[in-house]
Amino acid sequence: MDKFVEYVNSHRDRFVAELQDFCRQPSVAAQNLGMREMADMVLTRFKQLGADARLIPVEGGAPVVYAEIGSGKRTLMIYDHYDVQPPEPFDLWDTPPWEAAIRDGKIFARGVSDNKADLLSRIQTVEAYLATIGPLPLKIKFVVEGEEEIGSPHLPQFAQANRTLLQDADGCLWEFGSKDINDRPTMSCGLKGIMYLELHAHGAARDLHSSLAAIVVDPAWRLTWALNTLKDSDDHILIDDYASHVRPPTEAEMDALKAIPFDEAKIKADYAIPAFLNDLTGLELLQKYLYEPTCTICGLYSGYIGEGAKTVLPNHAFAKLDFRLVPNLSPDLVVDLLRKHLDRRGFTDIEINLTETGEEVARSPLDSPIVRAAVDAMKAIYPNEPVIYPTSAGSGPMHALCQALGIPAVSAGCGWHDSRAHAPNESVRIEDYFEGIRFVRELIERFARLGG
């Protein structure tokens, strides 16, 4: 047997125990819980590896753990995050979120799939490589941030301030990835952008008796009417000039969709939905999923929503919206177009409240060396054919850290289709974890060898 695989097998129990240790340390950025402890834990693990590692302070936020190891012609950036989503609601967990219990060949913990398993498996890959094969064939620069789950508010400044440190990377292995519903490994070569904002409508100085609704403005209706202008029932976004900024997919981008096996029947059954939006299927469905923007009401609140009746005229209504973005939309453009759209329709009273900074769209060429290396590595390791997504439907700070510095990136990881990131009973299958380690080793070797 290959020495690398033998080493990983014989250290299997310790590798799993280390992952449990990582998961048992809470690190919830949104609650500022355990952040420094987790950063120190990651730093210590890098130092055990012999990496040149340090914490890079981030003003007003959690530090970035930065580590360099190896040398060679090529430089691989590896991006992960050590923060996790809040674990609530606790009562929906079968075992406590910080226990990292093992059941049925899976580790259950908050943050195990997003993204501590990926982070640690990459570190352990380097350990096994150094112990069995020798010095790394390339330089690796690990960037591990602590604010991904709150929208990476400081990563763009971090990337710009450390431009000279980072920009010689030839490619980046991004944080996440999972097997699909038919257990095929997936990778994605980009991310949608995102803008998250709130719309507020205000009425009288205080809540009033609802008899006064005959003569006093109802902010819940104002908000409803305003929201109603944003999208039609066929799911078209109606914001003025919005559609004209959506670049239609190129022929190559459409071709990339044809190779994606999207098991519609299984996915519909899994979500318990009778059909996808607009009864879409096939290529049209994938095109809408990956290449079209969204406008989602993530939360909507006004007045009394408790038990029984309360005839009240609320004085405030608000909605939380997210906009997933495709080329050539940007977060700033969305806010600008939305403001003008509302004003033109007499909704100057609807306030746009910006609570997040937004993230730009990221795309990497499908023929870039890092994508080619990832495809080859997956083919070499996984029994099932890999599925290559030209972009994920999700978002993240990939543009700020990679595309803005001219670095192509590919996202791949050791999740499975039911990993339940952000939800109760988040898990990683232990076999997927070890397959992930073998994949990263292959990726390192293939990326170091590839020309171009």
Binding site for Zn ion (CB under 5 A): 114
Least Cβ distance, residue 79 to Zn ion (angstroms)? 13
Which region, left, alpha or beta, applies to residue 12 given φ > 0 means left and ψ of -120 to 50 means alpha? alpha
Least Cβ distance, residue 411 to Zn ion (angstroms)? 12
CA 62/CA 38 separation, integer angstroms: 10
Q: 113 or 315: whose CB is closer to Zn ion?
A: 113
Q: Tell me the CA distances in angstroms from 156 to 27, 194, 247, 445, one per residue in order.
A: 21, 14, 24, 30
Q: Is 37 exposed, middle or buried (0-12, 13-18, 19+ CB in 10 A)?
A: exposed
Q: 42 or 285: whose CB is closer to Zn ion?
A: 42
DSSP reduced 3-state for 54: strand
The identity of residue 130, as a single letter, is: L
Least Cβ distance, residue 311 to Zn ion (angstroms)? 41
Least Cβ distance, residue 149 to Zn ion (angstroms)? 5
* Closest C-alpha to 433, from 100, 46, 97, 121: 121
CA 199/CA 317 separation, integer angstroms: 8
Q: 222 or 399: whose CB is closer to Zn ion?
A: 399
CA 222/CA 232 separation, integer angstroms: 17
Q: 114 or 359: whose CB is closer to Zn ion?
A: 114
Residue ranges of E strands in 220-346: 294-302, 312-313, 316-325
Q: 321 or 421: whose CB is closer to Zn ion?
A: 421
116 secondary structure, DSSP code: I
CA 218/CA 162 separation, integer angstroms: 50
CA 30/CA 62 separation, integer angstroms: 11
Least Cβ distance, residue 420 to Zn ion (angstroms)? 11
CA 211/CA 215 separation, integer angstroms: 9
* Residue number, nearest CB to Zn ion: 114
Q: 395 or 403: whose CB is closer to Zn ion?
A: 395
Q: Tell me the CA distances in angstroms from 403 to 142, 156, 336, 447, one per residue in order.
A: 17, 11, 24, 18
Least Cβ distance, residue 440 to Zn ion (angstroms)? 20
Q: 111 or 314: whose CB is closer to Zn ion?
A: 111
Q: 227 or 410: whose CB is closer to Zn ion?
A: 410
Q: 231 or 420: whose CB is closer to Zn ion?
A: 420
Least Cβ distance, residue 402 to Zn ion (angstroms)? 17
Task: Count CA atoms closer than 13 A to 196's CA, side-chain side.
Answer: 15
Least Cβ distance, residue 114 to Zn ion (angstroms)? 4
Q: 114 or 127: whose CB is closer to Zn ion?
A: 114
H or E element at residue 65: strand 61-69
Count how many residues are written for the chain: 452
Least Cβ distance, residue 268 to Zn ion (angstroms)? 24
The identity of residue 435, as a single letter, is: E
CA 392/CA 289 separation, integer angstroms: 9
Least Cβ distance, residue 419 to Zn ion (angstroms)? 11
